Amino acid sequence: MGTTDLETRPSGPAADTSAEEQLAWFRRMIEIRLFEEKVQELFMEGLVEGTTHLCQGQEAVSVGAISAMREDDYLTVTYRGHGHALARGMEAEAGFAELMGRSTGCCKGVGGSMHFTDFSRNLIGAFAIIGAGLSVAVGAAMSSKLRGVDTVALTFFGDGATNIGTFHEAMNMASVWKAPVVFVLENNLYGEYSPLRDTTSVEDLAERAKAYGMPGMIVDGQDIFAVHEAVGTAIARARSGAGPTLLEMKTYRFRGHSRTDPAKYRPEGELERWKQRDPIELLGASLAANGHLSTDDQVALRAAVQAEVDAAAGRAADAPVPTLEEIKAYVYAS
């Protein structure tokens, strides 16, 4: 990879991706999709309050990238982090319980939708302030480097984050220190309600890597094979000591920015065009074409995952709310 290798990855299964692995991806992507849809239902039922930032349409990015990580690698995510947490292996029940403010939630019910964190899986933080997770990931990466171990850090963030100072500070620190970190930028075309072209000086955000002397690459974020391969390459580069990479995943969120956003700012036909490239359907078509999973079996799988998701939400709703006395212990460590 050159200093700035701005290219688009080809799609299609890499020779070394087994059918089992592809089936696991497929199941996880369906789980994330159905989890997010269930969140909307739970909202209508009054079991979830506040706000949520859902990720339907972006499942190939979270699953494709996280499946390229080792278990001991570090991960930071954002307030749109349900999918990443599930992709990292968090139980759906811990997610639902968190959204319902229960003590069995991944953050004991005190974090809520925007802070899905799971230290047992090295998911070390979900940040609701734009850009914050980037410098934290650089720190986690430096921690590995200073201890002389080969774990790397990966951080997800959106297109809007590339306009905030922390992005630039983190990219520069990572480059200067050759930190073993991979920056995964999910460009879903909108920073909150504003289209990228109205707020951002470049169209291809991977170009911004050039300013920090690191490779930048555009990846088809709807194609899980492309995502997985690009992230795998960047992780290998980081692990070898060669430093950070910026990967721009071109993707799309099927819902608005947050719960109350009907996304009326989208041009007519845009959503429909992106739905033609639904990442789950793209992988499903490939699985069917290669004889790994028939369309009938895919329908059955979806029903099975739906039953699991519904059951997880039901168990979450039965869990208790923590007491104020209990949560005081989370303010300061002893």
* By CB under 8 A, residue 147 contacts other proteins: yes
Q: Checking DSSP bridges between strand 153-158 and strand 181-187, what pairing results, if any? A: parallel
- In angstroms, the CA 152 to CA 218 distance is 21
Region from 42-50, 118-126, 229-237, 282-290 binding other proteins, contact rule CB under 8 A: 118-126
- In angstroms, the CA 248 to CA 200 distance is 14
Q: Which of 153, 154, 161, 227 binds other proteins (CB under 8 A)?
A: 153
Could you tell me how far CA 275 lies from the centroid of its own chain? 19
* Closer by beta carbon to other proteins, 45 or else 71: 71
* Closer by beta carbon to other proteins, 193 or else 330: 330
In the three-class reduction of DSSP (H, G, I as helix; E, B as strand; rest coil), residue 76 is classed as: strand
The conformation of residue 122, written as its DSSP 8-state character, comes to T
CB of 121 to other proteins, least distance (A): 11
CB of 264 to other proteins, least distance (A): 30
* CA distances for 109 relative to 66, 148, 159, 326, 327, angstroms: 25, 36, 29, 11, 9
Contact assessment for residue 230 and residue 247, using Cβ atoms and an 8 Å cutoff: yes
Region from 13-21, 139-147, 255-263, 274-282 binding other proteins, contact rule CB under 8 A: 139-147
* By CB under 8 A, residue 135 contacts other proteins: yes
Q: What is the per-residue binding string for other proteins in 174-203, x denoting contact by CB under 8 A?
A: --x---------------------------
Residue with tokens 């990879």: 1
Q: Which of 139, 239, 263, 270 binds other proteins (CB under 8 A)?
A: 139
* Closer by beta carbon to other proteins, 165 or else 262: 165
Q: Which of 76, 78, 113, 188 binds other proteins (CB under 8 A)?
A: 76
Count the residues of the shown chain that bind other proteins, applying the rule CB under 8 A: 48
* Closer by beta carbon to other proteins, 4 or else 104: 104
Q: Which of 75, 85, 141, 226 binds other proteins (CB under 8 A)?
A: 141
* By CB under 8 A, residue 124 contacts other proteins: yes
Contact assessment for residue 27 and residue 293, using Cβ atoms and an 8 Å cutoff: no
Residue 279, both tokens:
């990442």
What is the phi/psi pair of residue 157, to 5°?
Answer: -160, 170
Region from 10-18, 60-68, 141-149, 202-210 binding other proteins, contact rule CB under 8 A: 141-149
The conformation of residue 74, written as its DSSP 8-state character, comes to E
Residue 136, both tokens:
């934290």
Region from 111-119, 266-274, 278-286, 303-311 binding other proteins, contact rule CB under 8 A: 111-119
For residue 218, give every residue at least 6 positions away whose Cβ sits within 8 Å of its Cβ, in sequence order, or none: 6, 7, 8, 9, 204, 206, 248, 250
Residue 292, both tokens:
């790994």
* CA distances for 123 relative to 14, 91, 130, 317, angstroms: 27, 13, 17, 24
CB of 311 to other proteins, least distance (A): 23
CB of 90 to other proteins, least distance (A): 12
* Closer by beta carbon to other proteins, 34 or else 214: 214
Interacting residue ranges for other proteins, rule: CB under 8 A: 74, 76, 105-112, 115, 117-119, 124-125, 127, 129, 131-132, 134-144, 146-147, 153, 165-166, 169-170, 172-173, 176, 327, 329-334
